[in-house]
Amino acid sequence: MPLIRAGTVVLGGRACRPGWVQIAGAQILACGDGAPPGQPDRDFPDCLVVPGFVDMHVHGGGGASYLDAERIGEAAAFHRRHGTTTTLASLVTAAPGPLIAGVRALADATRSGTIAGIHLEGPWLSTARCGAHDPAQMRDPEPAEIDEVLAAGEGTIRMVTLAPERPGSSEAIRRFTDAGVVVAVGHTDATYERTHQAIALGATVGTHLFNAMPPLHHRAPGPALALLEHPDVIVELIPDGVHVHPAAVHAVVRAAGPDRVAVITDAIAAAGCDDGAYRLGAVRIDVESGVARVHATSTIAGSTATMDQLFRTVSRLGPDADAALAAAVRMTSTTPARALGLQRVGALRAGYDANLVVLDRELRVAAVMTRGVWR
Residues 120 and 291: their CA atoms lie apart, in Å, by 23
262 is an annotated ligand-binding site residue: no
Each residue's pLDDT tens digit, 11-33: 999 999 999 999 999 999 999 99
Q: Write phi, then psi, for 125 (nearest 5 degrees).
A: -120, 175
Residue 8 DSSP SS3: strand
296 is an annotated ligand-binding site residue: no
Q: How far is CA 218 from CA 206, 221, 222, 224, 255, in A?
A: 20, 6, 9, 12, 17
187 is an annotated ligand-binding site residue: yes
pLDDT of res. 318: 84
139 is an annotated ligand-binding site residue: no
pLDDT of res. 319: 86
301 is an annotated ligand-binding site residue: yes
State the CB neighbour count (10 A cutoff) for residue 218. Answer: 6
Q: Which residues are catalytic?
A: 266
pLDDT tens track, the chain, 375 positions: 899 999 999 999 999 999 999 999 999 999 999 999 999 999 999 999 999 999 999 999 999 999 999 999 999 999 999 999 999 999 999 999 999 999 999 999 999 999 999 999 999 999 999 999 999 999 999 999 999 999 999 999 999 999 999 999 999 999 999 999 999 999 999 999 999 999 999 999 999 999 999 999 999 999 999 999 999 999 999 999 999 999 999 999 999 999 999 999 999 999 999 999 999 998 999 999 999 999 999 999 999 999 999 999 999 998 899 999 999 999 999 999 999 999 999 999 999 999 999 999 999 999 999 999 999
Each residue's pLDDT tens digit, 123-139: 999 999 999 999 999 99
Residue 229 DSSP SS3: helix
295 is an annotated ligand-binding site residue: no
Total length of the chain:
375
Give the predicted TM-score (pTM) of the model: 0.97
Distance, CA of 316 to chain centre: 20
Residue by residue, DSSP assigns 129-147 as: G-TTS-GGG-----HHHHH
300 is an annotated ligand-binding site residue: yes
pLDDT of res. 63: 97
CB 157 within 8 A of CB 172: no
Assigned architecture for domain 53-340 = Alpha-Beta Barrel (3.20)
pLDDT of res. 1: 85
79 is an annotated ligand-binding site residue: no
Residues 255 and 185: their CA atoms lie apart, in Å, by 19
Domain boundaries, the chain: 3-50+350-374, 53-340
pLDDT of res. 46: 97
302 is an annotated ligand-binding site residue: yes
59 is an annotated ligand-binding site residue: no
Fold of 3-50+350-374: Urease, subunit C; domain 1 (2.30.40)
Measured at the CA of 60, the angle between CA 55 and CA 66, to 5 degrees, comes to 105
Rg (CA), the chain: 20
Whether the ω angle into residue 141 lies within 30 degrees of 0, i.e. cis, is no
Helix axes of 96-111 and 143-153: crossing angle, nearest 10 degrees: 30
